[in-house]
Chain A
């Protein structure tokens, strides 16, 4: 366990004034705090709903890693594609998905982002350029290369300009050991495809620590470097650091149209999934990381910087509790999919028993709003 705890972040802000630590505006900082509180509250209530059997199947909780999704998505533009693995609620919310669609999806309701056909592991949000939510470890990495390829192809081959986009492809450290990931990096490098592989390195692939499952675990960016990707190691428990460093990575990848690999050191405070008793790690280790809670760190930094006080923080948190409670109410009131939905969205074309396809409410609502 040594390298897991060695890479744990300091709990304090380091004594530097907030203005020196970030280029973000007060408005941005408030927004990140709001997003992280929203994700935290959403996940707490998700665990409760799972235990109440309102959510079925596999369910992976993002608590502890909030600074990663929030800091990374803040570092790119809304038009830039994002794709991730199955621990995806945080990315969906950070990308701007209304939590009601996310919760309804897990409840298996028609109002879910995928009409209740995807579940916890398959959050898709076309209006917010989120391309899933993918369940097989590493499967999203060739897709990430392809999304970035498509944006570059559109910009350069079809529109005749220069590449304007960068794609964020999140993966866990467990995906480091899947072959498809190496193929995705190799192709991205060969074809100068601007995709950033963000490894959310929480130290464990399910119950296997990174030391037990991954060679070169002390320096995983060597794997990207082997394919010609520039590698970055970023402390992932502090959203200010994540944003500042990821902004540079994203700006460089966009400008140079080159792929990159990022080792973002983080920690999941809960188990791999809802059924995980976490016997493979010590309570001491968990407490060490919990002391560096990313929400506490941002809150303290903002209090130090005079951007918020305890009362303001509590009020902001209370708003998120209300938002999530309303999302749950909305999800509960959304009907189950009609049985006829079984045969929609299998094929675009109608034939035989297949009834074609239609957009879910998350898309039609976005189109209806100005």
Chain B
């Protein structure tokens, strides 16, 4: 395997392209995915590679094209729906929440929905309140869907390829802030299994659990805290559904302290769920309650300094770790 270095966005495209070559049932649709090469250039070149029947520009009509893709998936096709932003998924709430995750159940096993819905999720670009959604807070509440949030380019490829092959609906959340990140990505087939968290940095004093972009904030905080003699174990959850609670629990039983970092709002979030599960599994192992770092419980602001204060960051994570360890 070569030591090839490519961008996160190219890793995403490679997964889609390889799966489309493998399986003619796979196709891509969304706003600007074809002639424009994708609003964030993720699908660059795919129109030339596969033609307009399989790389399909849609109008700005999320409810329509998401619902259309779900209908196609009921008949066994494997659509990849790109939402330019997950913020725009809210106008498609009925198809993506009422149809995709419930079809198998409502039909008593007759019709599944092997669809991937992917796009940019999360704040960080001064886009204001309506364009900065972290939909994992809301959507992870719904059984029947899987949710994958890669933090590194190799996972971007391996997790998206797994998502496309998955027989269940997968909500695939990408951070626009990570798309230019470069890393080693295997060239050939590369599949990262769902429900397997990975330890990004081993440590002994505290378990830092996160997923997606805030994993990088956790690694930054761990680097700072190491200078203070605090050893952080950083776990990248990769998927929220399925959630790999076992890896978290194993770590917390070793460190006896846990900080969960989640860029969605705190109320009823993946972070609150993980904290609850850690409390249930590790009640006797914990030296303090699980600490949580979320976005501030306000609409996302525009001003750069306010947005910086709004999001989880390394400083706030380090403060939470010190608090969890009773370090003044």
* A interface list, Cβ under 8 A from B: 81, 83, 112-118, 122, 124-126, 131-134, 136, 139, 141-151, 153-154, 156-158, 179-180, 182-184, 186-187, 190-191, 344-349, 351-352, 357-360, 362-363
Question: B104, A142: Cβ atoms under 8 Å?
Answer: no
Question: B108, A117: Cβ atoms under 8 Å?
Answer: yes
Q: Which residue of B lies closest to A147 (CB)?
A: B71
Q: Which residue of B lies closest to A153 (CB)?
A: B77
How many residues of B are counted as interface, with CB atoms below 8 angstroms from the partner's CB atoms?
Answer: 47
> Which of chain A's residues have a CB closer than 8 A to the CB of B107?
114, 118, 122, 124, 126, 132, 345
Instruction: Tell me the complex Cα distance, A143–B115, Å.
Output: 13
Interface set, chain B 55-87, CB cutoff 8 A to A: 56, 58-59, 61, 63-77
B137 on the A face (CB < 8 A): no
> Which of chain B's residues have a CB closer than 8 A to the CB of A349?
166-168
Given contacts A143-B99, A347-B168, contact A118 B64 (CB under 8 A): no
A selection of 5 A-B contacts at a CB cut-off of 8 Å is A118-B106, A146-B73, A157-B53, A347-B146, A349-B168
> Which of chain A's residues have a CB closer than 8 A to the CB of B64?
142, 145, 180, 182-184, 186-187
B141 on the A face (CB < 8 A): no
> Which of chain A's residues have a CB closer than 8 A to the CB of B53?
153, 156-157
Q: How far is the CB of A311 from chain B (nearest CB, A)?
A: 41
* B interface list, Cβ under 8 A from A: 24-25, 27, 53-54, 56, 58-59, 61, 63-77, 94-95, 98-99, 103-112, 114, 143-144, 146, 166-168, 195, 242
Question: A118, B75: Cβ atoms under 8 Å?
Answer: no
Instruction: Tell me the complex Cα distance, A146–B29, Å.
Output: 12
Interface centre among B75, B104, B166 (most CB of A within 10 A): B75
Question: A158, B110: Cβ atoms under 8 Å?
Answer: no
Given contacts A143-B99, A145-B71, A180-B64, contact A352 B242 (CB under 8 A): yes
Question: A126, B71: Cβ atoms under 8 Å?
Answer: no
Instruction: Tell me the complex Cα distance, A52–B38, Å.
Output: 57
Q: Which residue of B lies closest to A122 (CB)?
A: B106
Instruction: Tell me the complex Cα distance, A133–B103, Å.
Output: 11
> Which of chain A's residues have a CB closer than 8 A to the CB of B25?
158
Instruction: Tell me the complex Cα distance, A112–B109, Å.
Output: 12
> Which of chain A's residues have a CB closer than 8 A to the CB of B144?
346-347
Instruction: Tell me the complex Cα distance, A349–B170, Å.
Output: 12
Given contacts A151-B75, A153-B77, A187-B58, contact A143 B108 (CB under 8 A): no
Given contacts A153-B77, A187-B58, A346-B143, contact A363 B72 (CB under 8 A): no
Q: Select which of A153, A156, A345 is within 8 A of B72 by beta carbon.
A: A153
Question: B68, A145: Cβ atoms under 8 Å?
Answer: yes
> Which of chain B's residues have a CB closer than 8 A to the CB of A133?
106
Q: Which residue of A lies closest to B107 (CB)?
A: A124
Q: Select which of B56, B95, B167 is within 8 A of A142 by beta carbon.
A: B95
Question: A147, B72: Cβ atoms under 8 Å?
Answer: yes
> Which of chain A's residues have a CB closer than 8 A to the CB of B77?
150, 153-154
Given contacts A118-B108, A346-B105, A357-B104, contact A142 B66 (CB under 8 A): yes
Q: Which residue of A lies closest to B62 (CB)?
A: A183
Q: Which residue of A lies closest to B54 (CB)?
A: A157
Q: How far is the CB of A34 from chain B (nearest CB, A)?
A: 26
Question: B70, A348: Cβ atoms under 8 Å?
Answer: no
Q: Which residue of B lies closest to A118 (CB)?
A: B106
Q: How far is the CB of A125 from chain B (nearest CB, A)?
A: 8
Instruction: Tell me the complex Cα distance, A149–B77, Å.
Output: 10
Given contacts A142-B67, A143-B67, contact A136 B94 (CB under 8 A): yes
